[in-house]
């Protein structure tokens, strides 16, 4: 290969689940650069499995109320209203780590979580042994900064990506201890935060493009109910064509239940 030519990343065998972290030796997903660049519409970081699909091309099939709600999510976010300027760096770094967003364009998860808490649009329930969700978020961000200082001499946002991932992994396992973590159910704190992060991320049309989601079905509906390979007129084929379920069939021990 001539010097200077780009080196294509190794293509994982999707049929055998080589793109699934549980089946990889290092337990980590491959770098997403093996996927094509998005050619139509926008996805987080402009990488997507459906490079020629844009859910917004169907906006004229939605009713007016739905269209207004969805398109509002594309507005440029305003300043944070719930979190303070001191909490903002940890919030942004945490949301980026959890959603795998390390460059633009990003789904503005931090702003969406902030709006959810500022407006009191919560989930309608609370664990009996946990403080209100607003307090959970404040304590988690403070705990991340404290853990970053203890382990690496820097607040969470100032840690390297690898250090941040290690801290978040321990948070996800409920294994963070000491400091302000000892009187908080860490595993449930992770659950509270991730409910908000994931619901916000996957409410955004850019995330819909990334996963090929068809968007609101009302009043258009669906007409081609058949094999997984059957596409609606507005759908586009994915960049890969692995057979769903093969990895589960070949490695059932890795996917219990």
Is 140 inside any structural domain?
Answer: yes
103: region left, alpha or beta (phi > 0 left; psi from -120 to 50 alpha): beta
Is 219 inside any structural domain?
Answer: yes
pLDDT over 50 at 205, yes or no: yes
Looking at the structure, do residues 112 and 178 belong to the same domain, yes or no?
yes
Q: How many residues does the chain have?
A: 257
Say how many domains are in the chain: 2
Mean pLDDT value across residues 158-170: 97
Looking at the structure, do residues 111 and 185 belong to the same domain, yes or no?
yes
Mean pLDDT value across residues 67-81: 95
173: region left, alpha or beta (phi > 0 left; psi from -120 to 50 alpha): alpha
Question: How much is the pLDDT for 256?
Answer: 62
Mean pLDDT value across residues 214-232: 77
Q: Predicted confidence band at 59 (pLDDT cuts at 50, 70, 90)?
A: very high
Q: Predicted confidence band at 6 (pLDDT cuts at 50, 70, 90)?
A: very low
Q: Predicted confidence band at 49 (pLDDT cuts at 50, 70, 90)?
A: confident
Question: How much is the pLDDT for 192?
Answer: 96
User: What is the rounded CA–CA span in Å between residue 18 and residue 178?
Assistant: 37
Q: Which residue has the higher pLDDT, 61 or 19?
A: 61
Looking at the structure, do residues 94 and 51 belong to the same domain, yes or no?
no
Distances (CA, A) of 54 to 12, 47, 58, 135, 153: 25, 13, 8, 37, 43
Of 186, 201, 216, at which residue does a domain stop? 201
The whole-model pTM stands at 0.83
Q: Predicted confidence band at 254 (pLDDT cuts at 50, 70, 90)?
A: low
Range of the domain at 25: 14-72+207-254
For residue 225, the surrounding DSSP H or E stretch is: none
Looking at the structure, do residues 44 and 133 belong to the same domain, yes or no?
no
Question: How much is the pLDDT for 4?
Answer: 41
Mean pLDDT value across residues 135-151: 97
Question: How much is the pLDDT for 87?
Answer: 98
Give all strands (DSSP E) within 86-190, no chain letters.
none
pLDDT over 80 at 55, yes or no: yes
CA-based nearest residue to 220, from 43, 66, 71:
66
């Amino acid at each position: 290969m001539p010097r200077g030519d780009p080196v294509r990343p190794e293509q994982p065998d999707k049929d055998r689940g080589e793109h699934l972290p549980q089946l990889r030796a290092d337990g980590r997903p491959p770098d997403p650069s093996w996927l094509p660049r998005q050619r139509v519409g926008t996805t987080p970081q402009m990488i997507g499995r459906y490079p020629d699909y844009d859910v917004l091309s169907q906006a004229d099939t939605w009713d007016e109320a739905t269209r207004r709600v969805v398109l509002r999510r594309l507005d440029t976010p305003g300043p944070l209203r719930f979190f303070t300027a001191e909490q903002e760096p940890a919030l942004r770094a945490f949301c980026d780590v959890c959603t795998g967003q390390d460059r633009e364009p990003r789904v503005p998860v931090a702003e969406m979580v902030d709006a959810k808490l500022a407006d009191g649009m919560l989930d309608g329930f609370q664990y009996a042994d946990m403080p209100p969700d607003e307090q959970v978020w404040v304590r988690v961000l403070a705990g991340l900064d404290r853990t970053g200082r203890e382990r690496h001499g820097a607040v969470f946002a100032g840690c390297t990506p690898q250090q941040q991932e290690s801290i978040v992994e321990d948070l996800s396992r409920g294994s963070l201890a000491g400091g302000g973590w000892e009187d908080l159910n860490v595993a449930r704190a992770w659950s509270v935060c991730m409910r908000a992060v994931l619901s916000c991320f996957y409410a955004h049309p850019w995330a819909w493009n990334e996963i090929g989601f068809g968007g609101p079905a009302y009043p258009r509906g669906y007409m081609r109910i058949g094999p997984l390979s059957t596409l609606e007129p507005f759908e586009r084929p994915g960049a890969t064509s692995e057979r769903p379920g093969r990895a589960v069939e070949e490695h059932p021990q890795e996917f219990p239940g």
